[in-house]
Chain A
């Protein structure tokens, strides 16, 4: 009796150890690239060439970071990532704000003011979220040229807002749908108008979904490459395009440490958002893609 009990316990312990072992292997799998990026960015080129990929830096140097930020070459210009970092900021912030606001009021209309055709409009918008953007690149390039926004920051904001509305509307609509319809009825009887109800009742309730939406939109827009590379010119490129230019430039010696430093700089904002507001990010991922 005692033997079989302790055998069971032993089995359990062995299984637990096995479990944690496997999970640790995966931790290494996921963290290794980040670790390598950081360590490489802190090494000198000499050390990189002679040392091992996974070794810690012998002499830590921030030189690569300086280069990445201010002097790395992105094509014919060699100003580092700094100007492009700001480009991304100037693109992302307005685009996030505008697309979120539009998504909120759209979601409100679709969720609480059912009129004939509202569902069809929603379906059409939802559909639009799933298209491969290759199919709109050509006409958008032409239209941007026609309205004189080609290659401009405003043009990129425009594009990101247009193709962000589908997602933001989806998020807010799914959220507002769960607010009881009697609330709107009571407000109507109290005399509140369409806009008043939105302002006084729905907006105060919207903090959680707004955070989710803002984080999702920011991540999408900051990390975007396709729109950036298709619709910008040398001076207005977002940071992802600049990063790619630095890493894949065919001139000169490959400076791996600069490449890594540049990658980390480019990844920093969304990574920080993830670390500090991770659970909202996850909510955005699962809400947006699992639900219809």
Chain B
């Protein structure tokens, strides 16, 4: 093999992937951004007309609901998942004999498709035959749990299903984080007579900030992308009560034939994701380069 080829082979090998990423990630983003500034409907038009798609977007009541839902869902989903994950991780950290089996049970939902999860919870929360009926049969005749079909509460069913799926993963992350704390510091505290609860609140949890950050990033990312879950659980309904930006975009793109709206909503989604992920990635890569 000629020495020029040998010398440049690494670059040549990496090149196709590089080109692919440039085209299919950044090129496509650019295309979508371009289209979001046009009057495209069913077919893309390429004449830039300004911000009219974004104006339409922000005027749309359906988009309002979607964004609103994103914040409600995002906030609750992240908060409850982190809280549950932390509690379970702390409990599991207490030298439980069947820890391995428990971890497997807590984590298996992550292996499931969100469609499966949505389907399962759709059935569980079925008004009339699901959990509502079970509780009623226990004697609480006035118990109603029709959140699934209630426009005001439907979004919370997505939270329930989402938390079920993701909290096990958060637990795994936190458990690893808890265990990576320097054991010597903990021993010193125990010798000093610090009560266990205080050891957790004053020493362990504060030192876990990077893990919290990672969990937050992953959950935020999941929340913004959650499309499958809503489709399976509520179909976006009732009406569009559980719409999220992801489902809004899909509807605009493939059902309504409104590419301009689809593009602009997609770009907004991307901006939201970036504003969360970019600072994180930047600081991570910075740290790597300093090492």
A contact residues vs B (CB 8 Å cutoff): 19-20, 22-23, 26-27, 29-34, 36-37, 40, 48-49, 52-54, 102, 105-106, 109-110, 113, 115, 118-119, 121, 123-128, 130-142, 162-163, 165-166, 169, 193-195, 219, 222-226, 229-230, 240, 243-244, 247-248, 256, 259-260, 262-263, 266-267, 270-271, 273-275, 278, 281-282, 285-286, 289-292
A49 and B126 CA atoms in complex are apart in Å by 12
CB distance from A180 to the nearest CB of B (A): 15
Tell whether B224 is near chain A: CB-to-CB under 8 Å: yes
- Which residues between 180 and 232 of chain B lie within 8 Å of chain A, taking CB atoms? 211, 214, 217-218, 221, 224-225, 227-228, 231-232
A130 and B35 CA atoms in complex are apart in Å by 21
Known: A115-B11, A226-B227. A270 touches B17 (CB 8 A): no
Are B116 and A289 in contact, CB atoms less than 8 angstroms apart? Answer: no
Are B123 and A259 in contact, CB atoms less than 8 angstroms apart? Answer: yes
Nearest 7 A/B pairs, CB to CB: A292-B284, A223-B113, A274-B111, A113-B10, A225-B228, A128-B25, A136-B28
Known: A22-B91, A37-B123. A126 touches B281 (CB 8 A): yes
Are A109 and B129 in contact, CB atoms less than 8 angstroms apart? Answer: no
Instruction: Name 30 A/B residue pairs within 8 A (Cβ), A-sorted.
Output: A23-B96, A27-B105, A27-B106, A29-B164, A37-B120, A53-B130, A106-B14, A123-B281, A124-B26, A127-B281, A130-B221, A131-B270, A134-B225, A134-B269, A136-B29, A136-B32, A137-B266, A142-B44, A194-B6, A225-B114, A225-B115, A226-B227, A229-B231, A243-B116, A244-B115, A266-B116, A267-B113, A274-B108, A292-B280, A292-B281
A194 and B277 CA atoms in complex are apart in Å by 35
Residue from the set B9, B17, B169, B284 with the largest chain A CB neighbour count within 10 Å = B17
A291 and B6 CA atoms in complex are apart in Å by 32
Are A131 and B273 in contact, CB atoms less than 8 angstroms apart? Answer: yes
Are A30 and B105 in contact, CB atoms less than 8 angstroms apart? Answer: yes
A166 and B29 CA atoms in complex are apart in Å by 16
CB distance from B268 to the nearest CB of A (A): 10
Interface of B is mostly: helix
**Which residues does chain B contribute within 8 Å of A119, judged by CB atoms?**
289
Contact partner of A30 (CB less than 8 A), chosen from B108, B129, B217, is B108
Are B24 and A270 in contact, CB atoms less than 8 angstroms apart? Answer: no
Are B221 and A135 in contact, CB atoms less than 8 angstroms apart? Answer: no
Are A240 and B228 in contact, CB atoms less than 8 angstroms apart? Answer: yes
- Which residues between 35 and 76 of chain B lie within 8 Å of chain A, taking CB atoms? 35, 44
Q: For chain B, which range describes its interface: under 10, 10 to 19, 20 to 34, or 35 or more residues?
A: 35 or more
Are A270 and B288 in contact, CB atoms less than 8 angstroms apart? Answer: no
Return the CB mask of B162-191 against A: 1 if under 8 Å, else 0: 001000110011001000000000000000
CB distance from B23 to the nearest CB of A (A): 9
Residue of A nearest to B272 (CB): A132
- Which residues between 116 and 155 of chain B lie within 8 Å of chain A, taking CB atoms? 116-117, 119-124, 126, 129-131, 133-134, 137
Return the CB mask of B100-116 against A: 1 if under 8 Å, else 0: 00101111111111111
A103 and B124 CA atoms in complex are apart in Å by 40
Residue of B nearest to A142 (CB): B44
Are A244 and B232 in contact, CB atoms less than 8 angstroms apart? Answer: yes
Tell whether B235 is near chain A: CB-to-CB under 8 Å: yes
**Which residues does chain B contribute within 8 Å of A19, judged by CB atoms?**
91, 94, 96
CB distance from B211 to the nearest CB of A (A): 7
Residue of A nearest to B35 (CB): A138
Known pairs A19-B91, A225-B227 / 13 extra A-B pairs, C-beta < 8 Å: A30-B106, A34-B108, A53-B131, A109-B14, A128-B25, A132-B273, A136-B29, A194-B10, A230-B254, A243-B119, A244-B115, A263-B115, A274-B107
**Which residues does chain A contribute within 8 Å of B96, judged by CB atoms?**
19-20, 23
**Which residues does chain B contribute within 8 Å of A126, judged by CB atoms?**
281, 285
A124 and B17 CA atoms in complex are apart in Å by 11
**Which residues does chain A contribute within 8 Å of B32, judged by CB atoms?**
135-136, 138-139
A48 and B129 CA atoms in complex are apart in Å by 8
Contact partner of B231 (CB less than 8 A), chosen from A110, A244, A267, is A244
A81 and B253 CA atoms in complex are apart in Å by 27
A130 and B29 CA atoms in complex are apart in Å by 13
Known: A23-B102, A26-B88, A109-B10. A165 touches B21 (CB 8 A): yes
**Which residues does chain A contribute within 8 Å of B44, judged by CB atoms?**
138, 142
Contact partner of B17 (CB less than 8 A), chosen from A36, A37, A169, A286, is A169
CB distance from B79 to the nearest CB of A (A): 17
Are A23 and B91 in contact, CB atoms less than 8 angstroms apart? Answer: yes
Are B1 and A193 in contact, CB atoms less than 8 angstroms apart? Answer: yes
Known: A52-B133, A285-B172. A273 touches B123 (CB 8 A): no
Residue from the set B112, B124, B169, B254 with the largest chain A CB neighbour count within 10 Å = B112
Are B262 and A243 in contact, CB atoms less than 8 angstroms apart? Answer: no
Residue of B nearest to A240 (CB): B115
Are A40 and B123 in contact, CB atoms less than 8 angstroms apart? Answer: yes
CB distance from A100 to the nearest CB of B (A): 13
